[in-house]
């Protein structure tokens, strides 16, 4: 790319998703005036990914509405957006990246925001027509189109993506079966009361839930899917299969150029990699911390690491240490989560599960570590403060609805 | 299309055309309006698209849902009687000329 301001070769951001966009815009917000190039391999300007598994599947939101920042708005900020182009290689010694359209860009600072991809189904038949995964806008387009003609949908995976797709498919009036290998839904992220709540919720919406269901094969005829076989020998008929079995961080490019990677591009709290000129942000990272490596797959992580990464490229320290938060929308239920519940030894419920308004508070060695809130936004927003400030909360205070937890953060 | 004017905390104004059916937030972020973060993309889960709606337009808006009500209690800047989350305001022809003011901080 041409005219660098003076001798500044500029900043290059690989990946134009939520994290990459944040790096580019935060560079400007921090006052950087040199060239900024944002490179995305998808053919779209940066867009919001969360609605892909929700409003987008039922035609409730058009594609244009998902745009985070239009090309014109980026141009006004002096951010050169390159779409539909992948980075082929990075030469850290020469400080250059090579694009698959033949261009070579020099950089003074480089950010990896390469994101992640859907974990492929490791069984035979995964390549049949009608077997889809959800990660990109184009994936959502394919699933939305397939839903229109589908009668029976099988969702593989009872995590956030799988359950949101199941809810959307029910909204479209399709028959839905969810196959989950674990003995409860959301097993990786939530406690049993939350899992049970969502199992009941989906059953009430006539979703067939199969727990402990290990998928052995996807079956079909003439190249098209006809069903999913589970280890108990049963065939679950389907004309559309959506797999939501997790994601894999895109670390190949970083590994190829010798950056330290371990289930993600390893970064510190300031988003710095093993190369002082290179930062990384979002799904592609694994952050070093007190408890080892932390992989977060969330909007908040993309945004906060993006801000940290931009600051780091300009020689500033802006650590991201806030409690992680996540959310999921299914039917008319909003689940909001803050903190990390792994390793908890006590669970306390505040509110009423029957009335669909409750929060599960997780304690570890007597300290609050996480809160999952179902239709209780105030608990969630308060929880962010409680966790970020390491406020002492007791299980007794949590169960006592008469006790206003808000008084603890004033 | 409806014309919506965003007035930043510092006083700078930007008017954008937003198609009917879009939310005010979607029109703002697409056009790069400063002062609307909208981290969650419109799920009413982050309270970072807070705005103050000019009084004359308030009763032309559908009332806030319970979730929006609750999230408005957690905005980074002061909640006022005309506070709304812009991701929950659907643009209609009746909102042509809408003016919203943006708070000092979203997060």
- How far apart are the CA of A151 and the nearest CA of chain B, in angstroms? 28
Cα dihedral: B21, B24, B26, B32 (round 10): 140
Interface ipTM > 0.85: yes
Task: Identify the pLDDT of residue A4.
Answer: 43
- Judge whether B71 is closer than 8 Å to chain A, CB to CB: yes
Q: What is the architecture, at CATH level 2, of domain A332-409?
A: 2-Layer Sandwich (3.30)
Per-residue burial over B50-82, b if 16 or more Cβ lie within 10 Å, else e, is bbbbeeebeeebeebeebbebbbebbeeeeeee
Residue of A nearest to B41 (CA): A48
Q: What is the pLDDT of residues A215-225, one digit of tens each?
A: 999 999 999 99
Which of A55, A70, A299 lies nearest to residue B40, judging by beta carbons?
A: A299
Whether B21 contacts B72, CB under 8 Å: no
* Burial class of residue A192 in the structure, from the number of CB atoms within 10 Å of its CB (0-12 exposed, 13-18 middle, 19+ buried): middle
- What is the fold of A131-245? FAD/NAD(P)-binding domain (3.50.50)
Task: Identify the pLDDT of residue A246.
Answer: 96
Q: What is the pLDDT of residues A25-72, one digit of tens each?
A: 999 999 999 999 999 999 999 999 999 998 889 888 788 999 999 999
Flag if B26 and A378 touch (Cβ within 8 Å). Answer: no
| Domain positions in chain B | 2-101
- How far apart are the CA of A377 and the nearest CA of chain B, in angstroms? 6
Residues of B in contact with A21 (CB under 8 A): none
Residues of B in contact with A51 (CB under 8 A): 41-43
DSSP string, A186-216: TTTTS-HHHHHHHHHHHHHTTPEEEET--EE
Flag if A68 and B43 touch (Cβ within 8 Å). Answer: no
Residue of A nearest to B33 (CA): A73
Task: Identify the pLDDT of residue A289.
Answer: 86
Residues of B in contact with A70 (CB under 8 A): 30-32
Flag if A68 and B41 touch (Cβ within 8 Å). Answer: yes
The CA-based angle B64-B68-B72, given to 5 degrees, is 110
pTM, two decimals, is 0.96
Domain A11-117+248-313 falls under CATH 3.30.200.20: no
> A interface mutation test: which of B16, B25, B39, B48 has the most A CBs within 10 A?
B39
What CATH number belongs to B2-101? 3.10.20.30
Ranges of chain A with pLDDT below 50: 1-5
A11-117+248-313 against A131-245: fold identical: yes
Average pLDDT across chain A, whole number? 96
């Amino acid at each position: 790319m041409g005219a660098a301001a003076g001798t500044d070769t500029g900043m290059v951001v690989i990946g134009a998703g939520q994290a990459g966009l944040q790096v580019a815009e935060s560079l400007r917000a921090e006052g950087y005036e040199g060239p900024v190039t944002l490179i995305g391999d998808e053919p779209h300007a940066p867009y919001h990914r969360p609605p892909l598994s929700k409003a987008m599947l039922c035609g409730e939101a058009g594609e244009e509405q998902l745009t985070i920042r239009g090309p014109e708005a980026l141009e006004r900020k002096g951010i050169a957006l390159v779409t539909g182009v992948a980075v082929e290689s990075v030469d850290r010694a020469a400080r250059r990246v090579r694009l698959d359209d033949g261009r070579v860009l020099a950089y003074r600072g480089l950010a990896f925001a390469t994101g992640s991809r859907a974990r492929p189904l490791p069984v035979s038949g995964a390549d049949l027509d009608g077997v889809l995964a959800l990660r990109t806008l184009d994936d959502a387009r394919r699933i939305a189109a397939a839903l229109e003609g589908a009668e029976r949908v099988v969702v593989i995976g009872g995590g956030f993506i799988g359950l949101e797709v199941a809810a959307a498919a029910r909204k479209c009036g399709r028959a839905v079966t969810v196959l989950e290998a674990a003995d409860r839904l959301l097993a990786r992220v939530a406690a049993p009361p939350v899992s049970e709540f969502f199992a009941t919720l989906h059953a009430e919406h006539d979703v067939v839930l199969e727990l402990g269901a290990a998928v052995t094969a996807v079956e079909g005829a003439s190249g098209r899917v006809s069903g999913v076989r589970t280890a108990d020998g049963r065939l679950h008929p389907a004309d559309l299969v959506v797999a939501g079995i997790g994601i894999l961080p895109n670390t190949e490019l970083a590994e190829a150029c010798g950056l330290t990677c371990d289930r993600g591009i390893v970064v510190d709290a300031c988003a710095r990699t093993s190369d002082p000129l290179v930062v990384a942000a979002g799904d592609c990272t694994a952050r070093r911390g007190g408890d080892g490596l932390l992989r977060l797959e969330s909007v908040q992580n993309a945004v906060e690491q993006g801000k940290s990464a931009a600051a780091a490229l300009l020689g500033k320290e802006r650590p991201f240490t806030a409690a992680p938060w996540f959310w999921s929308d299914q039917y008319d239920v909003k689940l909001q989560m803050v903190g990390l519940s792994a390793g908890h030894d006590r669970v306390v419920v505040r509110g009423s599960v029957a009335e669909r308004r409750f929060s599960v508070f997780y304690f570890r060695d007597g300290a609050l570590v996480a809160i999952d809130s179902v239709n209780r936004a105030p608990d969630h927003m308060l929880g962010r403060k409680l966790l970020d400030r390491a406020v002492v909360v007791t299980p007794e205070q949590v169960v006592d609805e008469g006790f206003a937890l808000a008084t603890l953060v004033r | 299309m409806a014309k919506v004017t965003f007035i930043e905390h510092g006083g700078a104004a930007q008017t954008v055309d937003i198609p009917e059916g879009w939310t005010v937030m979607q029109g703002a972020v697409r056009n790069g309006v400063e002062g609307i973060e909208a981290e969650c993309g419109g799920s009413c889960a982050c309270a970072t698209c807070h705005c103050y709606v000019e009084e004359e337009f308030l009763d032309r808006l559908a009332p806030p849902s319970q979730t929006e009500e609750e999230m408005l209690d957690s905005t980074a800047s002061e909640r006022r009687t005309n506070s709304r989350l812009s991701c929950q305001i659907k643009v209609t022809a009746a909102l042509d000329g809408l003016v919203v003011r943006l708070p000092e901080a979203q997060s």
